[in-house]
Structure 1
């Protein structure tokens, strides 16, 4: 492994990635990859996806290629970043098992991210055990590669703290300074969580997301459906910008903020219609997403090449994982022979 600090991050393959992922973490990953300061790894977390999709394996299988295409289309370079598949690294399961002995059920129950997701998914009392312990699996994902920096959305800080606790406990119990405590690398304030078209959390299941591979026609149809100001009935009516998703997106994506400020003034004063405003946003988003869309379409024409890239990346990642597990077993006193 390189002497550079290791970046490690990833996504679950449960569908295409959307612009929330793009702003929340993908742009950071590309910038950090291209800085030359890090040794980046990106994991497609198919095993984690099974924690709440175990009865729909086809969904995960089909999404694997979609997520890989999104990575490559936004500028993740497999010559600079090792892209690998979680299930191809059995050492991750082994380290997860050891970590499970170092954390209590009560601690997992207190994890705010898990508590929120359990409510969102409506598990009730029927929480799959694999889902309940996935923060431990996530900690193993980071620790196996000695990940020092994790580009993530700001909602992932509780998961990172759980990882730091497990790493500290492991190192203390076994008297080593082997695994690293990761820090998060978060998007600029206000850009970590982009709301969906309707103003609530962007989600595949809610159908309120703009995907990186959406065509211009699909993009325009989604922008036209965006929530604005229900009191802005006529063009001449003064409008509100708070909670208006068009302005929320313009603030994030527009490069000409002077133009955005001008639009805000016109809208609040009256005289600017919602459709004209949405056309402004469409032009901004289409300019941003068109190169990604085009690269994605080109890459999708050769799926075998993409799968081979994932295979090669997984082989490289496994070599690193095997080396770390040798050190882990030695620290635990279970390296019984060479």
Structure 2
């Protein structure tokens, strides 16, 4: 029923680092060739924890967009936009808040977890409690059915699915729904109508998930149905009403293997990052001064690569032969730590070079970035407008 559409966003936290590249952006670059993609700057989300320091958000927005473009996100393949420039997000968030049980929000695992992590901030705000609902509105307003997330974010997608289901159940019952759905079944033609009815019965009476998949595939292949009839048949299939909001799937992404300079996860809060567009001399200096295996006090002391943060970089950047050279050289003291670090420096600089070149083009002409975002916001608003028209109609808010 809905286009295969991916939605993903990032909070504007300033310049991005290699952890962001290996954890998120590389995946976005791959997805933009496989799906219709929307990537957005989650500036309202930044306010849930930085409501008292909004000044840092604006510059961070543009730095981050340049980093996306530098990394290889292609505005001719993906729609890039800023959340706050599409006010329909806020309208859907408000309308969904009217029917969202409070307990659903309080149960979110990240709610208590974040409050503990950021205990120095007063997060007893409505915005912080409601941010999973705003996140759900971000996804549902574009009828995105694929959302790339790590394991820790899966509960947010499940929450969004439950919300879509609840909305469709509450508001998808248009007057005469059954009659309209049965009339739409007849439009499938005798053979297909019979198959649809059989699959629908198998799913509703036996909970047969394969029958549900087959019936969905059957509907997706029908070119002669109107959008309204198609939506009715999807809803009728599952025993609900008209499908107004799409239930998204979590598109699981592998956790970033990118370590920080000290061997911990790369994070600004640990002060162990390499920025995406960092100056070459600075990158080389940071890697040269990285801590190594504490057992290697002298050049002649053998070491254990697994105990050295530099080895973690080799796992990301080196081919098998190079890793064997490191293993052999380190355990026998055949190579020194600086020799071991040089191939890592070369590999990181090589990865960053095209990023710096692309970024320079946008920094020399900032209007290009503004135009890309302006076009993206326009496209996003068109899609959001369509959803909100259906939502308002379903909730009885389309009176003139």
TM-superposed deviation, 1:140: 0.7
Correspondence 1:1-338 to 2 at 5 A: 4-35=3-34, 38-123=35-120, 126-175=123-172, 176-188=242-254, 191-192=255-256, 194-254=258-318, 256-337=319-400
Moved more, 300-309 or 259-268: 259-268
Mapped partners of 1:262, 1:123: distance in 2: 46
TM-superposed deviation, 1:124: 6.4
TM-superposed deviation, 1:65: 0.9
TM-superposed deviation, 1:287: 1.1
Secondary structure, aligned partner of 2:270: coil
Secondary structure, aligned partner of 2:145: strand
Maintained 8 Å contact 2:5/2:143: yes
Maintained 8 Å contact 2:2/2:246: no
- Cα distance per residue 1:38-62 (max 9 Å; x no partner): 2110111111111111222221100
TM-superposed deviation, 1:17: 1.3
Mapped partners of 2:104, 2:122: distance in 1: 18
TM-superposed deviation, 1:16: 1.0
Secondary structure, aligned partner of 1:249: helix
Question: Structure 1 residues 268 and 107 mapped into 2: Cα distance closer, same or farther (>3 Å)?
Answer: farther
TM-superposed deviation, 1:125: 5.8
Question: Structure 1 residues 108 and 249 mapped into 2: Cα distance closer, same or farther (>3 Å)?
Answer: farther
Secondary structure, aligned partner of 2:264: coil
Query: Normalising to structure 1: TM-score of the pair?
Result: 0.90
TM-superposed deviation, 1:303: 1.0
Mapped partners of 1:210, 1:60: distance in 2: 21
Unaligned runs of 5+ in 2: 173-241
Secondary structure, aligned partner of 1:137: helix
- Cα distance per residue 1:276-297 (max 9 Å; x no partner): 2121211111111111122112
Query: Normalising to structure 2: TM-score of the pair?
Result: 0.77
Unaligned runs of 5+ in 1: none
Compute the RMSD of aligned alpha carbons. Answer: 2.1
Secondary structure, aligned partner of 1:43: strand
Mapped partners of 2:289, 2:110: distance in 1: 30
TM-superposed deviation, 1:130: 1.4
- Cα distance per residue 1:229-255 (max 9 Å; x no partner): 22222223232233532221221233x
Moved more, 123-132 or 260-269: 123-132
